[in-house]
Structure 1
């Protein structure tokens, strides 16, 4: 059975000559057993008619933001709730820009804002428009938000130019969609516990010690794990990020707080992924009042914090545990040492030398386990999270084939 069988797929068609390919795309999706509805922009209707798409999909085509035929006249909300996947093909440079900046003045853009469904785009435009810095900036922003981008391809274009910008062929898009859906069940029903972000170690009532972690990698992993069917609990230090949909978030401040919260949820977890940058040291004592700037030198006595990762693995040896290691040098040596020393099942290591990774939209990982290693090259953190979880799921099911 196809991975697309029974999936509710909303196909968004925008105004480019590649819209003619959308008819074949609908036909192929239905052949795979998908439930397909079509949403067209006003420009798209200049290239291919709603009647054509209605005949192929077997469903009315949606074109108006406020639909008097829809329940309460709010067709965009109905579509947003119905869709499990939203694919915009073709996705013009204009549509990519509108998605980037959150426009909501037509049906397609509004549905995209109102839906929790995975959003995917198949760019199609002139090669020079594709290379334009504004378009590339918009694409990077969308990728960082978890939008999947399929294509474009290279070749002769309708305008006569040759280069990148052709929409992928319908069969290629169906394969890409199917591949995405095949990963969506990798963690079905599994309980995944994730730590993310920095911790803060108080010095006095107004000051604390912390680190440069933004939490972006951990939050991306939480979102990806949910998309793969997992029940996700996210224990997060202080970050400026929104909690991903359907994720239970527990906020903490210090390393001690993170340990307590993690211990409380580890018993029920199947997989533990520790991306948090937990403080290694904390002040021995915290001043009750704000420390005044009187002395020329301020000395702080510090003590080691309890190792959250090692403590949890020791207490729950059966828990499939994935550690993270951010290193400035000898990344692989330190990663494998940490893996063995703490008895981890896997570790994902990355270099943070020269400002890499921290608070950046991209990252690269060296993923190590007892008898294997894979390099994941630099890519946006949402895509990287999916690639990492594929490896985690594969190792988890290898170790626990009946789980």
Structure 2
């Protein structure tokens, strides 16, 4: 994850929320890093946060008065809390305590920070920080899942030594890592280059049932497809994400359709009447069981033989449409990556294929990857990088191809 350098966040307006916890002192460094990168930063603190770090400290590093209360007559006469919510390009809360997460999950607006989170249309990111037992508690886990389902992004937590003397998961990410995540989530200057474009992305794997309990699946996490959908939305596109089973949060501004099998995914794609760009990032199962059992198959000590039949080729079908969009596909290979990917691109009618080598520790269920992009008359190597960064490079290449 990259740390922003000078002017990378120029003219970006970032609201930093600080809730109560010893990690609040790290938020001072976070604000400094964001300001150094060119961002305009406003800070909102909960009452508990002021017990750990004074508002004056944040005012000194941000260059702006700090808001701490909802009903502040003097502050409301300048920038009222609704205007502040509209002002932000991004909201990041660091640290985000267990209490704050619970109140956000419940939709409460009992202080300035939670009210802003309800009133803003900007993406919201939380950097949790709490004792390891609090983070592991089922209530916190449920609150986390609720927030993720609403499109909130979680940054961390990390694992390690905690202020309480215990060791485990619950540490707030370091300020540099949080600043890097904010940079990656914001649209780049001049990056609204997909406005008016309709983008459809398939992501994650599919599950092909054997019986009501068991299924055939693969190792895909969906991270690449979700990153592509998020990047397309940041660039102004109207995005539909058709996702196989995944626990990943729906990116902000993206319409999500959940499916399970390859046939389900095909039907969802075919239901979309028109699209400008199609990105087939899903790891669709090549085969399905011909006749799944309608009851749980019992183990009897004898070999189990399953008849597998081919699944529909979704990308080939999209490429064959009369009103075909620009088609981007993926190739996950264990050997001869370039040769197999080039053959696949031509056979399926893709305009651009993104190939990567997979295997133990490579490609699947990782936040980073390396890609080889191939198109008619050109290619490009993308070095190992965060999948969010790679998503941006893919759309940059798309524009390059369209201009050639």
**TM superposition score normalised by structure 2:** 0.68
1:91-240 → structure 2 map (5 Å cutoff):
98=95, 117=122, 138=173, 146-148=181-183, 180-183=188-191, 185-240=192-247
Deviates more, 1:376-385 or 1:225-234: 376-385
> What displacement does 1:48 show?
7.6
Counterpart in the other structure of 2:68: 64
- CA contact 1:197–1:214 (8 Å) conserved in 2: yes
- CA contact 2:373–2:382 (8 Å) conserved in 1: yes
> What displacement does 1:318 show?
3.5
Alpha-carbon distance between aligned partners in 2 of 1:144 and 1:46, rounded to the nearest angstrom: 22
Paired residue for 1:9, among 7, 13, 37?
13
- CA contact 2:330–2:355 (8 Å) conserved in 1: yes
Counterpart in the other structure of 2:338: 332
Structure 2: tracts of 5 or more residues without a match: 1-7, 18-26, 104-110, 126-158, 162-169
Rate the CA distance shift 1:107–1:357 in 2: closer, same or farther, 3 A: farther
**RMSD (Å) for aligned C-alpha atoms:** 4.3
> What displacement does 1:52 show?
9.6
- CA contact 2:28–2:61 (8 Å) conserved in 1: no
Is 1:341 matched with 2:347?
yes
> What displacement does 1:115 show?
5.2
Counterpart in the other structure of 2:86: 81
Rate the CA distance shift 1:107–1:148 in 2: closer, same or farther, 3 A: farther
- CA contact 1:17–1:47 (8 Å) conserved in 2: no
1:254-273 → structure 2 map (5 Å cutoff):
254-265=261-272, 267-273=273-279
String of CA shifts for 1:212-260, please: whole Å, max 9, x gaps. Answer: 1111111111111101100000111111122112211111111111111
Alpha-carbon distance between aligned partners in 2 of 1:107 and 1:136, rounded to the nearest angstrom: 25
Alpha-carbon distance between aligned partners in 2 of 1:341 and 1:140, rounded to the nearest angstrom: 47
- CA contact 1:243–1:249 (8 Å) conserved in 2: yes
Counterpart in the other structure of 1:129: none
- CA contact 1:222–1:234 (8 Å) conserved in 2: yes
String of CA shifts for 1:367-390, please: whole Å, max 9, x gaps. Answer: 111111112222222222222222
String of CA shifts for 1:158-196, please: whole Å, max 9, x gaps. Answer: xxxxxxxxxxxxxxxxxxx8x82222x111121000001
Is 1:293 matched with 2:283?
no
- CA contact 1:16–1:44 (8 Å) conserved in 2: no
Paired residue for 2:248, among 241, 248, 261?
241
User: Secondary structure of 1:389's partner?
Assistant: helix
- CA contact 1:192–1:272 (8 Å) conserved in 2: yes
String of CA shifts for 1:129-162, please: whole Å, max 9, x gaps. Answer: xxx9889992699679953269xxxxxxxxxxxx
- CA contact 1:100–1:142 (8 Å) conserved in 2: no
- CA contact 1:237–1:254 (8 Å) conserved in 2: yes
Structure 1: tracts of 5 or more residues without a match: 30-35, 55-60, 89-94, 121-131, 151-176
Rate the CA distance shift 1:138–1:49 in 2: closer, same or farther, 3 A: closer
String of CA shifts for 1:319-338, please: whole Å, max 9, x gaps. Answer: 10000111111111111111
> What displacement does 1:17 show?
11
Paired residue for 1:362, among 368, 371, 383?
368
| Count of residue correspondences | 332
Alpha-carbon distance between aligned partners in 2 of 1:138 and 1:223, rounded to the nearest angstrom: 22
String of CA shifts for 1:320-362, please: whole Å, max 9, x gaps. Answer: 0000111111111111111111121101111112231211122
- CA contact 1:102–1:113 (8 Å) conserved in 2: no
Counterpart in the other structure of 1:162: none
String of CA shifts for 1:56-95, please: whole Å, max 9, x gaps. Answer: xxxxx34214342367xx9666533331246x8xxxxxx8
- CA contact 1:339–1:347 (8 Å) conserved in 2: yes
**TM superposition score normalised by structure 1:** 0.68
Counterpart in the other structure of 1:282: 288
Is 1:351 matched with 2:357?
yes
